[in-house]
Structure 1
């Protein structure tokens, strides 16, 4: 408690905040006294509205409540952020007792602490909060804590969690964490009544798992509501002051975080919150008092004067191109809003816009017949070690030793997949490489493609885009495209650093893309059309509702952009991506041997959706060995 008081005296920047808080207290006293004065005047018209018989008692009562609340906050923060975490009911994370999601958060925290050469803050989690948010509290390195919501642990992948924690570390390094903690103590004098009202009202509600309501439930709700209503004036004034004085900080912190970590991980975090059904809202009674300490708005988006700008505004400030991708063009006018732009320097305005590579037009149709070389090749997938070590012709080996030769090999493989041995005479491809590949087992071609892809070397952005466009035109030359060819093109994008930015999506928004991916996956199968339809129906029953099944009963014959579909599905939560792959695997290969092309597709899908592939390949090979053909 002494340390908290000492920090108030030591930090000269708090004089301004304390002065504003004092004015807010005086304004609150004046308004409440005037409201009571109007009621007194109604009964006794000789009394003044602004100073009446109840004024001394009312002012003493209110000042006493405010003083007690501030002293209590000093007591709460006697142990820094740890005390606040306990007050909010947060649970401290420990490596010994943590689940995988918690272990990742602890690991990232240790990495960031080592990077910035500071003591690692303790990590707490709010177990009942499903919104994606975080806050940092404390004065000294030894008592600073980061409090995450359960929704943040459950819904953010490792990159997104890294962006969230980096933002909190930026606040620790800049001293904003200690300042925010002092502000919470100061403004507690205005928000305490509202918190008390919320706590009392909650006593009247039935808790989860409670069989009967309390006999005084209605009284608690009514009393709590009255106290909350009286305290709402202080909340409104506090929110107005925070909105005016702190509203410009969020944009600055976003830019500083990006410069600090030198990547766009915090953009990914914002995108995940944007698509999350609960956003960043915190439902605790402390949500109002900690709103300025959080990563994003802890209050409802519909609330007036939220301290943090909306998620869409923050995304636009960091990457205007993503706003267009998210169909948020109307947010461009927000750049001219004076309230946020007045406090930003010119170097924070980033005009660089990311332009993703797009598929050649017109878009192709989905290929309805799989590409394979021979029925034996289709039935018997090779083991990875045999496939990788199979003897290559000398011409192919020499070509793979140079970047130019590797690119020629990739073009030749895609040409063969498109035309077989009937490659047009005018095609720009090495005939010698094509002949060498045609004398090889067709199942080895994809393995050679992987090897060539790793050897293509670095190219200028314009040349890389031209090469990618050339490959894309080859695989859809006949107006159709298959899933395996599209996935091979994704590998090339990855090597050329042209793979689209990871954009988080929600399951409800990408149901059409999931259906089209399933259709594309089915058409890789070596099964007849009737069985394909039966399997399709079985898969869709597991991923769609009854109403949605009627919408997607027929296979679409519209042009398809498999690259965009893969990118949209890759933005789903990890558990949703894994669920889709698991359902497809169960329904497609539970009772039949997987072919080489099918195994390649499955391996590439796991890779594209962010999973390790070695284990799934080994598992499918073992299942094949146990089946009787």
Structure 2
């Protein structure tokens, strides 16, 4: 399989996983509906108890559970999705800083074009080469004073993207290996991986918010006088439901997010080979990186930040 076939394969897989992620968010709303509908149905059954049997003879209580109620479905699913959407948008807006802000937040220092450091000059030359190969404008380059071998791309578009590289990366990798690493990051910029990460992180935050709301309801009800009556009991049950649904949704969402991140890393590796026309650079760089930590974990941490 050549690098173009690998790129097509990973793109298709990513699309399927993103669709699956979106479906899982809707499924959370449906799960909330089932739990709420069960509670409402059983509550109505208890409030209007009917007994089956002959007069004067002890009978049994008849319970009714109505699975489908369109009004409750629209209300429950709608509120669930609305809460997730609003919280996700708020989280997304808080992460909309450009690449420069992200790089500086991580402690990066912009490399001046007239730098006299030979390793930094080598890095700037490699970045210019990869910009030409990928057809992307030359981004600003930041150096992180860390001994480990790592690099990251930050920003939300080609225009505000930056590349960050650790000091250990430019000192411990030769030019060929550095080309592979930089080309890998250019792929993240070219294919919009930062926006995909922003989308996933924001949605996960919205899902987890359900858990926090549920925990707040349980705690506030437990410390309130209303917890002694039926209303307080209903609040506790509702809070527990939100806690469970939010945590389960977050757990499976994280699994899908990890799978998407792996696919984007495979795509970046294939694109690095395309840009450099040299499979040995990225493979040897990853071999060296493996001596410090797992490369996929490294990229995930830096991109998510």
Q: TM-score, normalised by structure 1?
A: 0.30
Which secondary structure does the structure 2 equivalent of 1:119 belong to? coil
Structure 1 residue aligned with 2:285: 269
Give deviations 1:348-401, integer Å, cap 9, x for gaps.
xxxxxxxxxxxxxxxxxxxxxxxxxxxxxxxxxxxxxxxxxxxxxxxxxxxxxx
Separation of aligned partners in 2, 1:54 and 1:129: 55
Give deviations 1:515-538, integer Å, cap 9, x for gaps.
xxxxxxxxxxxxxxxxxxxxxxxx
Contact 1:131–1:279 under 8 Å retained in 2: no
Separation of aligned partners in 2, 1:239 and 1:74: 24
Separation of aligned partners in 2, 1:238 and 1:81: 24
The reply on whether 1:164 has 2:181 as its aligned counterpart is yes
Deviation, structure 1 residue 69 = 1.9
Q: 1:145 to 1:227 in 2, by over 3 A?
A: farther
The reply on whether 1:64 has 2:83 as its aligned counterpart is yes
The reply on whether 1:187 has 2:200 as its aligned counterpart is yes
Structure 2 residue aligned with 1:134: 152
Mark the structure with the bigger radius of gyration: 1
The reply on whether 1:258 has 2:273 as its aligned counterpart is yes
Give deviations 1:158-214, integer Å, cap 9, x for gaps.
432221002223454xx31x2x233234324421157889xxxxxxxxxxxxxxxxx
Deviation, structure 1 residue 283 = 7.8
Separation of aligned partners in 2, 1:98 and 1:236: 49
Structure 2 residue aligned with 1:27: 27
* Count of residues in Structure 1 that have an aligned counterpart in Structure 2: 239
Deviation, structure 1 residue 122 = 2.0
Higher relative contact order (CA 8 A, sep 6+): 2
Contact 2:99–2:160 under 8 Å retained in 1: yes
Separation of aligned partners in 2, 1:64 and 1:32: 13
The reply on whether 1:113 has 2:131 as its aligned counterpart is yes
Give deviations 1:58-105, integer Å, cap 9, x for gaps.
85265224323235425643x64345546x635242237897765543
Give deviations 1:119-157, integer Å, cap 9, x for gaps.
2112345668957353454323x2122244566456544
Separation of aligned partners in 2, 1:61 and 1:93: 43
Separation of aligned partners in 2, 1:148 and 1:27: 40
Contact 1:37–1:48 under 8 Å retained in 2: yes
Separation of aligned partners in 1, 2:274 and 2:298: 32
Give the 5 Å matches for 1:465-614. Answer: none
Q: 1:97 to 1:16 in 2, by over 3 A?
A: same
Separation of aligned partners in 2, 1:266 and 1:158: 11
Give deviations 1:43-72, integer Å, cap 9, x for gaps.
958477887989947852652243232354
Give deviations 1:474-517, integer Å, cap 9, x for gaps.
xxxxxxxxxxxxxxxxxxxxxxxxxxxxxxxxxxxxxxxxxxxx
Separation of aligned partners in 1, 2:36 and 2:117: 54
Which secondary structure does the structure 2 equivalent of 1:287 belong to? helix
Deviation, structure 1 residue 265 = 0.8
Contact 1:101–1:154 under 8 Å retained in 2: yes
Contact 2:103–2:154 under 8 Å retained in 1: no
Which secondary structure does the structure 2 equivalent of 1:123 belong to? strand
Give the 5 Å matches for 1:79-228. Answer: 80-85=98-103, 89-95=106-112, 104-113=122-131, 118-124=136-142, 130=148, 132-140=150-158, 142-148=159-165, 152=169, 155-172=172-189, 175-176=190-191, 178=192, 180-193=193-206
Separation of aligned partners in 2, 1:124 and 1:196: 34
Q: 1:131 to 1:26 in 2, by over 3 A?
A: farther
Separation of aligned partners in 1, 2:176 and 2:284: 8
Of 161-170 and 28-37, the range deviating more from structure 2? 28-37
Separation of aligned partners in 1, 2:301 and 2:77: 28
Structure number having the greater helix percentage:
2
Separation of aligned partners in 2, 1:75 and 1:146: 21
Q: 1:54 to 1:150 in 2, by over 3 A?
A: farther
- Where in structure 2 are there 5+ consecutive unaligned residues? 1-13, 46-64, 211-241
Q: 1:116 to 1:254 in 2, by over 3 A?
A: closer
Contact 1:138–1:145 under 8 Å retained in 2: no
- Where in structure 1 are there 5+ consecutive unaligned residues? 1-13, 198-225, 292-297, 299-629
Separation of aligned partners in 2, 1:81 and 1:230: 31
